[in-house]
Amino acid sequence: MIRTSSIDVLLVDDSGFFRQIVSDKLGESEDISVSKASSGEEALETLADGSVDCVVSDFEMPGLSGLELYERVEAEYGLPFILLTGQGDEQTASRAIGTGIDDYLRKDDIAEEGQLQLLANRIENVVTQRRANEKYELLVNNTPDEITQVAADGTITAANDAAARSFDTTREELIGSHLTDVLPTESAATRVEHGRRALTAGSAVTFQDGYGVRHFHNVAAPVRVGSESDSFQLITRDITEQKRRERELQTRTDELAVINRLVRHDINNDVQLLIAWADGIDRHVDDDGQEYVDRIQHTCDHIAELTNIARDFVDSIGSDAEFALTGVNVRHILEDEVEKADRRHDDLTVTVDGEIPHAAVRANELLSSVFGNLLSNAARHNEGADPRVTVSAEESRTDVRVRVADNGPGIPDAQKESVFGKGEMGPDSPGTGIGLYLAHTLVEQYGGTISVEDRDPDGCVFTVSLPKHA
């Protein structure tokens, strides 16, 4: 259990006098509390019954020696351990450090007047370090990324749980094996090569590799810890699913390009021919036939409008348009679209309320499709005797707000949130519903907003807010 509160120390020594002096001194610290044991056996009983953060033990004791106690503590509890040795016993000290003991001190050094603070400092250091290591290990083992530490020759010296699961083994079995034991030879060689490059450069190296159907993103970073400075840490993330989505997206983009060419050229050219032929026979039919000519022309206009929407929609989702935004003059776009709406819809009256500001907003050439679709939507859904649309705009310091207000039947409250959804349309709607969806998609790409609300006394108002171009 990782704690950041006070440190509970177990002091083990067969000398009652030494235990008392040391425990009294350590107990003066607000951060340290001390429990005592007179032997290694008693220490193990204390550890089994309570919570201890660090063990401080004499080396020479009856029964279990300090080193033997350390081995039991390390195997069962994994606690920081400080060994107290006799004066000048450097051989014992070297042996202790070699077994993995966190620190050692000579008893004569700490027994001197005023030197017990040295032991307190060492206790705080080893406990703080151990807690930091535990937090790091917890973080490493909870990440889904595979993390291994690899020597320059390709030997795995450490690994987290994710790496063990990936190779269908345990951490214990993984440590000490070679990369070629768990990876195809070529993949192992590639990772060792990039690891050595990281060691030579002294900085992280990023690369991708794969084997079978799996793909990986890797980071090789040099390890700078004492004798392990000739090893590197390998962080590996499985990106197989990401690669699959990228392939699907590329296929989708290629298919959209085909559709775009079809819409831009073949269908549009045929529609223009139909319009021209309808105009050609217009003067050769009587009044009864004129109704059918008008229907043909109206349908051709509708098809032409839909092909434009489809073209713009493909452009908006099948290209990098969202990354190529620039300054677009709102006034020029609105004036053009108002003029087109006047020509396209004979029964519709479009007026501009006030002056449209000469302001540049962050957009691209498809901004015309936003306003064109709002105007067409107002015309197609208004079956009144005198359909009207009023366009207005106002400029603030940061954005431009454009309002398109009509006197049509309005939009029920229940549909206001979903009206911009793909394919959304009202009963008996002559459109596909994709026009408003396209407008919403484009406005979002521009970093703006689009909304609809009721207009008094009837109809509705679409409001488009677009950020100014910096």
pLDDT of 131-155, one tens digit each? 877 777 777 778 899 999 999 999 9
**63 secondary structure, DSSP code:** S
Confidence at residue 451, expressed as pLDDT on a 0 to 100 scale: 93
Query: Is residue 252 scored above 80 in pLDDT?
Result: no
How does pLDDT run across 389-443, given as a tens digit for each residue? Answer: 999 999 999 999 999 999 988 888 888 878 887 544 443 444 445 778 888 988 9
**CATH superfamily entry for domain 143-238:** PAS domain (3.30.450.20)
Specify whether the CB–CB gap between 161 and 146 falls below 8 A: no
3-class SS at 396? coil
pLDDT the model gives residue 430: 41
The backbone torsions φ and ψ at residue 349, rounded to the nearest 5 degrees and listed phi first, read: -105, 120
For residues 265 and 181, give the distance between their C-alpha atoms in angstroms, rounded to a whole number. Answer: 58
Burial class (CB in 10 A: 0-12, 13-18, 19+), 247: exposed
Is the model's pLDDT at 43 over the cut of 90? yes
pLDDT tens digit sequence for 326-345: 999 999 999 989 988 888 78
- Model pLDDT, residue 432: 43
Question: How many Cβ atoms are within 10 Å of 204's Cβ, its own excluded?
Answer: 14
Tokens representing residue 425 in the block: 């349309």
Fold (CATH) for 7-139: Rossmann fold (3.40.50)
Q: In this predicted structure, what is the pLDDT of residue 346?
A: 77
The pair of three-digit structure tokens given for residue 113, joined into one six-digit string: 């007047």
- 113 vs 239, residue with greater confidence: 239
Phi and psi (nearest 5°) for 224?
A: -120, 65
CA distance 167 to 145: 13
pLDDT for 307 equals 75
CATH 3.40.50.2300 positions along the chain are 7-139
Q: 459, exposed or middle or buried, with CB in 10 Å at 0-12, 13-18, 19+?
A: buried
**Intervals of CATH 3.30.450.20 along the chain:** 143-238
**Positions of CATH 3.30.565.10 in the chain:** 249-467
Tens of pLDDT, residues 221-250 = 998 765 556 899 999 999 999 999 888 888
- CB-based contact 453:401 (threshold 8 Å): no
Considering only 32-36, 102-106, 181-185, 441-445, which range has the smallest mean pLDDT?
102-106
For residues 8 and 53, the answer to whether their CB atoms sit within 8 Å is yes
Cβ atoms of 327 and 360 closer than 8 Å: yes
401: left (phi over 0), alpha (psi -120 to 50) or beta: beta
Please tell me the distance from the alpha carbon of residue 452 to that of residue 431, in angstroms, as a whole number.
18
Position 318 scores a pLDDT of 58
Helical ranges in 28-167 per DSSP H: 40-49, 66-76, 90-99, 107-111, 116-142, 161-166
The residue ranking higher by pLDDT, 118 or 177, is: 177
What are the structure tokens assigned to 343, written together?
């020509």
Query: Which of 212 and 309 is assigned the larger pLDDT?
Result: 212
CA distance 425 to 434: 8
Q: What CATH fold (topology level) applies to the domain 249-467?
A: Heat Shock Protein 90 (3.30.565)
What is the strand order of the sheet 103-106 is part of?
Answer: 32-37, 7-12, 54-58, 81-85, 103-106
Give the chain's mean pLDDT. Answer: 84
The helix or strand, by DSSP H or E, that contains position 289, with its residue range, turns out to be helix 287-317
pLDDT in tens, 158-176: 899 999 999 999 989 999 9
In the chain, pLDDT over 90 holds for what percent of residues? 42
Q: Name the residue with higher pLDDT: 256 or 71.
A: 71
Q: At 381, list the tokens.
A: 């859904």
Nearest to 112 by CA among 22, 32, 27, 34: 22
284-327: pLDDT as tens digits = 888 778 888 877 877 777 677 667 766 776 766 655 544 578 99
| 229, 188 Cβ separation under 8 angstroms | no
Distance of CA 2 to the CA centre of its chain: 28
